[in-house]
Structure 1
Amino acid sequence: MKRRIFIQKSGAAGLALSVMPIACTEPAPKLDAEVLILGGGLSGLYLAYLLDKAGKDYLVLEGSNRIGGRMFSREDIGREVGGRGIGDKYTEVMKLVKEFNTEMIDITDYMRSPTAIYVEGKLHAKWPDPATNPAYLQFTAFGKSPQLTALNQWYQKPELDEKYSELLKRNGLTEAQIDLANISANYNDIRETSAINAYHSSAFRKFNGSERVLNFKGGSKHFIKAIADSLKNPVLTNKMVNTIEDNENGVVVSCIDGSKYRAKKVVSTMPFTTLRDVKMNTSFNSNQKKAIQKLDYTDITQIHLQHTEPFWEQDEMPVDIWTDTPLERIMNMSSSPTEKELACWVNGIGTAFFDKMSEKEVAEYTIKKINEIRPSSVGKIEYLGQQNWGKYPFNKGAYVEFGVGQAAWFEDMIKPAGNMHFAGEHAARESRGMEAAAESANRVFKELIS
């Protein structure tokens, strides 16, 4: 419609409304679903599964070109690069495993294989003193602190909310040892992150009750596909959200491809690192605003390799190596006791070293450094690819990490706001990892049907 005609008609309509009865007002726009679920990872898929079972209408929008979120089987390099390990007492996840008869592999007996130590230019097949082993300094020191007595205490104990490095220092670590502990700690920086994260992780390991650790046979892709295939409605991919409008008729979600979707409710399973890029008019409480804008996620870069010969048989050293080099930890990531899948696992501030490199430079540096650390590997390892979770645009991090003072936001940040609800690994009261994603989805499902 031409602009002049549109203005004329709009003006006429405005005049007409002043004399028209209220019953003739324009009806609310047609809804595409009762519930829009933003994110096709485990949390979003599980929520869709629960809504399916309850006969509720929903639509899942996934920003990337695939489903699974941080459960990611990289077909191009033939490796799992995301979440894979689950405990046998993961209540919510194991329900799905049994529902879809998913084949699992028990890796408990060989997941904690020996680790060589490379420090100050020297490779040790075995560290002589367990109390000073640089790979376990964090755990040795943290174990001296009183632990939580319940799974949900982590956000209810402000007296424990301090820099993790301060706790470790109080428990005997020197500044130099704290630098070494930072390599093993799965956080961005133990000099900045809250000790609350360590307390929560420890409580989950203790109180979840799992005795066995399981991996998905053939990769997590089979599990994710089974959930998606069971849904009545397809998951729409390549639907990166850029606007959420919340009004009296419900919500309107707009995507960067120009598409729009309307529903009564919207559930965001998006990490706050990506949700903060979305334009929203929702009335969030003050702690939600702070969490959405400031909550951090751990950067992890994995550098995946393959071997052409079992070089560890030549030098008779353990396959796994903890190092004080930029490669940090070199680990066997295979789910099989007879196979080896090597990857360098770099955490937090250490990822910045590789972020400034091209992929070719990452490959060259990695091979050269491993050859230097372990001469038996020369000519026997090849670069496959890297997974940089900090730079992955649909997550911008591997998992949530609370800074000092941020755990106090938790109860407020997961409350419904307007027509929006929050699920995802970051929104679980008790669990961590994949079980956290599923736990939060179950909580939101109850909110929606209550």
Structure 2
Amino acid sequence: MSRPKLSSATGTSFKIDIPDGWFTTISVVSRKTYNHLVVVKYEFSGFTRSAKIIDTYGVQNEVMKDSRSGEVTLGIIPQEDPQTISIDAYYSTVGSVKGVTLEADKYRSNRANIITNNKPATAPKEFPDYTSFLIFVEDEPATTKAGDPEYDDVIIAVNILKGFQQASPAPPLDTGSEALTQTGKDAIKEYLDQYTKPGGPGPVIPIPPDGNVPPPVRPPVSPELAALPVAILGAGGSGLYIAMILDTLGIKYEILEGSSRIGGRLYTHNFPTNQGKYQYYDVGAMRYPDTSFMQRTFDLARNRLGLKDKMLPYLRANDNAFLHFNGVTVTKALNKATPLKADIFNQGQSKDGPVPDQYIAQGSGVFWDEILGDLRKLFVDNPFDVAYAKLKELDGHTVTSYLTFVKKIPYSVIKWYETMESRTGLFDASLTETVLASLVFNDPRFEGKTIDWFCFDGGSEIIHKAMTDRIQNQPILNHRAIAIKETDNGQSVTVTFDLSGGPRQVAVSQIEKKYSNVISTISLGCLRLVNLDNIYVSNAQQSAIRQLSYTPSIKIGLQFKTPWWEKLGIVGGQSSTDRPIRDVVYPSYGPDSSHSGTPAFQKSNCMIASYNGMQDSQRLGGLMKGRGTPEEKILLDLVMRDLAVLHNYPLDKLWEQYEDYYPWDFYRDQFQLGAFCQFGPGQFKDTYPQLTQPASRQQRLHFAGDATSTFHGWVAGALNSGWRSVLGLLQNHPEINPKPSENIIDKFKNLWGPSEEWDPKDLAVHNFIAQQLTAINTQQKP
């Protein structure tokens, strides 16, 4: 069996050869008060990366840090090809460490001793094979006094594990994940059948019996055009993930972001008023369930970015949190203990409310537990394909229409369910979408199984920061795409960017840049505003871009002097109300000793004072006009008043605790124009097939982002869409392969694994049909 080995060692310069599939970590300790520098270079597949590990001048016995990421452990993920790691040690008795100003040649450490350790043959099989190298470095022989130990100025630990990220059979999908992926597969199958079987709406496109479609037939591309980079529009999770993939494949690219920040909906706001480690809240993605449909997200965070130790338990529930409806406030514990017929919120007709008493006696939770529970139970009582077919029969219904016409439930009861269990207006969404979403978190086949939820220490922004740190080409900010056109007779794509939104004045406010292909990850609402007149986008694709629904959503974060809610027994979880703020989310991270007044408490003193969507969010979002405006003064006053009522907390004392606020409306953000997808009845099958095919006469414009995934609304959907868009790029443009002798698609599959959403052969047929239809349609144009 091939194992890591030391291939060369000269002085304090070492080379270690690592086979494919092994995971490497490197940590360094400086034992002296002067500066040390350890340079690590790792080469694989013709690429070279480097890292500089440094210490702090004047500090002894310090764990040194990567100068770019600040991490104390450098992690190198497994590769398909073997790697070579080079390590060089230097020191300096003078100079500043911030700029890594060590003069390497002049101050190279003098000598070293290395100890190699392999896993004993008798170790338990459940532990991975490993090889470790301990490198003990000495700086100058003259500094060693009699009796002093040698080789202890710097200690470098290199640990290499086998099988850390080896391909293995994926665990069975939970019911929700399986149903979501089946939704996409059915939509694609129905679409493909329209063009591969007689009797469809268009021409029959012959497909080889084995499904192996031929490569595209196009005029040869000149070397100059073939060498153009790929443009990735948008530096959110999907765009950064695509960049990581292209790096491993050796494909040149540029990431261009319209706004002044990286991350998209991986957005954490750090309060500037009284700064500290936990003085933030997640404006965007904030919680991550450890379910099968999140596999790619957890692989990214844990394995590829090394953020496993940054994952904290997310506290979803707390019985001391409050419910406030119809002017009545109770704790969740009291609500659970009170008989339903007691009508604690005075909503029944016997208490002058609108809801018939027989429904009050059942409780509003019957909506999720029994009404939708009966639809989830289909997957317990029937084989999956039978249950899924039964659910699809209801695809034309919204939640409201199903409750009205199928379940014969009065309108007042439907609105009561919606108020207590959902968001105002959300029952107008697709019934099947709602059931599928509930399946992900309430799998009837695994009743009683606990799902672990996580958040990130430092907020979700640490994900995009880690991704940005690992890609070769940094995102180019303040480049807003305003037009995309085909150039060079369709063999290239030119994008026009508006630079006027940047922080500085520029001589030219618009520029054009030419690319071999463009992958757009920007939201469809924003793409709708881009001029696509001069690039072929089918009528069906244009309709999909225009029609796909995005859910309104807002968050309003507040910073207080102390987490006063902890005195009420609330740590984590959330409270709910029918007042405008709707949901309050308490932090799951902390405590923060860097902020005055908080060491005695358990969690951060920053909360999400309002988290809501649909009509509720649109009304509060209309008040978000900018700090200091009359509208936002009204907004802040409303939020504080609602918090006081919800928590039975004196309003004056609440204002005494107040420090800062930060509101966010995704629909009012010019770079989002909506929070996340929420398909309407029947909409999925008419949009998903169109947006998963590339546009332009030569298929050079590709669409990505969570809206083009079956897992829309989640980071997993953004990543899955990135996987699909890159595979589509490779299938459509074999000329983009930097090593023609190498099977780049096999390499992609080995490095980035399979996708539960797509079979590569189905995607190839999907792309082939797009090629053929585009050729037919563009020839018919005058």
Q: TM-score, normalised by structure 2?
A: 0.50
Indicate if the aligned counterparts of 2:430 and 2:679 stay in contact, CA closer than 8 A.
Answer: yes
SS, match of residue 543 in structure 2: helix
Aligned CA distance change for structure 1 residues 377 and 133 (closer, same or farther; 3 Å): farther
- In the alignment, structure 1 residue 113 sits paired with structure 2 residue 348: no
Instruction: Give 2:639's aligned residue.
Output: 366
Indicate if the aligned counterparts of 2:548 and 2:679 stay in contact, CA closer than 8 A.
Answer: yes
Instruction: Give 2:371's aligned residue.
Output: 141
- In the alignment, structure 1 residue 200 sits paired with structure 2 residue 200: no
Indicate if the aligned counterparts of 1:311 and 1:376 stay in contact, CA closer than 8 A.
Answer: no
* Partner amino acid, structure 1, of 2:521: T
Distance in 2, Cα, partners of 1:314 & 1:429: 42
- In the alignment, structure 1 residue 284 sits paired with structure 2 residue 537: yes
Instruction: Give 2:574's aligned residue.
Output: 320
Instruction: Give 1:402's aligned residue.
Output: 679
Indicate if the aligned counterparts of 1:304 and 1:384 stay in contact, CA closer than 8 A.
Answer: yes
Aligned CA distance change for structure 1 residues 316 and 441 (closer, same or farther; 3 Å): closer
Aligned CA distance change for structure 1 residues 267 and 310 (closer, same or farther; 3 Å): closer
Aligned CA distance change for structure 1 residues 268 and 119 (closer, same or farther; 3 Å): same
SS, match of residue 279 in structure 1: coil
Instruction: Give 2:695's aligned residue.
Output: 417
* Partner amino acid, structure 2, of 1:142: L
Pairwise CA RMSD of aligned residues?
3.1
Indicate if the aligned counterparts of 2:287 and 2:454 stay in contact, CA closer than 8 A.
Answer: yes
SS, match of residue 94 in structure 1: helix
Instruction: Give 1:444's aligned residue.
Output: 725
Comparing 354-363 with 440-449, greater Cα deviation is found at 354-363
Q: What is the correspondence of 1:120-269 to structure 2 with a 5 Å cutoff?
A: 120-125=326-331, 126-127=334-335, 128-129=338-339, 134=364, 137-138=367-368, 141-146=371-376, 149=384, 157=392, 159-169=394-404, 170-171=406-407, 174-183=410-419, 189-205=425-441, 206=443, 211-247=451-487, 248-257=490-499, 258-269=510-521
Percent of aligned pairs with the same residue?
21
Q: State the Cα distance separating 1:354 from its structure 2 match.
A: 1.6
Q: What is the correspondence of 1:66-85 to structure 2 with a 5 Å cutoff?
A: 66-76=261-271, 78-85=280-287
SS, match of residue 493 in structure 2: strand
Instruction: Give 1:12's aligned residue.
Output: none
- In the alignment, structure 1 residue 352 sits paired with structure 2 residue 352: no
Comparing 171-180 with 405-414, greater Cα deviation is found at 171-180
Indicate if the aligned counterparts of 1:314 and 1:376 stay in contact, CA closer than 8 A.
Answer: no
Indicate if the aligned counterparts of 2:544 and 2:690 stay in contact, CA closer than 8 A.
Answer: no
Instruction: Give 2:306's aligned residue.
Output: 101
Distance in 1, Cα, partners of 2:668 & 2:370: 32
Distance in 1, Cα, partners of 2:424 & 2:484: 30
Q: Larger relative contact order (C-alpha < 8 A, sep ≥ 6)?
A: 1
1:143-198 per-position Cα deviation (integer Å, ceiling 9, x unaligned) = 23246748xx79x9364232122234444754234334444666772343212321
Instruction: Give 1:296's aligned residue.
Output: 549
User: Which of these two proteins has the greater Rg computed from alpha carbons?
Assistant: 2
Indicate if the aligned counterparts of 2:580 and 2:642 stay in contact, CA closer than 8 A.
Answer: no
Q: How many residues align?
A: 420
- In the alignment, structure 1 residue 339 sits paired with structure 2 residue 544: no
Q: State the Cα distance separating 1:262 from its structure 2 match.
A: 1.0
Aligned CA distance change for structure 1 residues 306 and 178 (closer, same or farther; 3 Å): farther
Comparing 300-309 with 127-136, greater Cα deviation is found at 127-136
Distance in 1, Cα, partners of 2:233 & 2:542: 19
Aligned CA distance change for structure 1 residues 369 and 305 (closer, same or farther; 3 Å): same
Indicate if the aligned counterparts of 1:31 and 1:263 stay in contact, CA closer than 8 A.
Answer: no
* Partner amino acid, structure 1, of 2:607: L
SS, match of residue 236 in structure 1: coil
Indicate if the aligned counterparts of 1:303 and 1:345 stay in contact, CA closer than 8 A.
Answer: yes
Distance in 2, Cα, partners of 1:330 & 1:132: 26
* Partner amino acid, structure 2, of 1:222: I
Q: State the Cα distance separating 1:366 from its structure 2 match.
A: 1.0
Indicate if the aligned counterparts of 1:274 and 1:395 stay in contact, CA closer than 8 A.
Answer: yes
Indicate if the aligned counterparts of 1:204 and 1:430 stay in contact, CA closer than 8 A.
Answer: no
Q: State the Cα distance separating 1:41 from its structure 2 match.
A: 0.4
Comparing 367-376 with 92-101, greater Cα deviation is found at 367-376
SS, match of residue 160 in structure 1: coil
1:379-422 per-position Cα deviation (integer Å, ceiling 9, x unaligned) = 13525121111211111121111122311211222211122111
Instruction: Give 1:3's aligned residue.
Output: none
Indicate if the aligned counterparts of 2:525 and 2:672 stay in contact, CA closer than 8 A.
Answer: yes
Instruction: Give 1:61's aligned residue.
Output: 256
Distance in 2, Cα, partners of 1:214 & 1:393: 29
* Partner amino acid, structure 2, of 1:69: G
Q: State the Cα distance separating 1:140 from its structure 2 match.
A: 5.1
Comparing 191-200 with 415-424, greater Cα deviation is found at 191-200
SS, match of residue 385 in structure 1: strand
Instruction: Give 2:88's aligned residue.
Output: none
Indicate if the aligned counterparts of 2:395 and 2:682 stay in contact, CA closer than 8 A.
Answer: no
1:91-123 per-position Cα deviation (integer Å, ceiling 9, x unaligned) = 222222122211333425x32223422111111
Distance in 1, Cα, partners of 2:730 & 2:694: 13
Comparing 205-214 with 218-227, greater Cα deviation is found at 205-214
Indicate if the aligned counterparts of 2:312 and 2:457 stay in contact, CA closer than 8 A.
Answer: no
Indicate if the aligned counterparts of 1:331 and 1:342 stay in contact, CA closer than 8 A.
Answer: yes
Instruction: Give 1:11's aligned residue.
Output: none
Instruction: Give 2:197's aligned residue.
Output: none
1:307-331 per-position Cα deviation (integer Å, ceiling 9, x unaligned) = 4455546666787321111111122
Distance in 1, Cα, partners of 2:670 & 2:437: 26
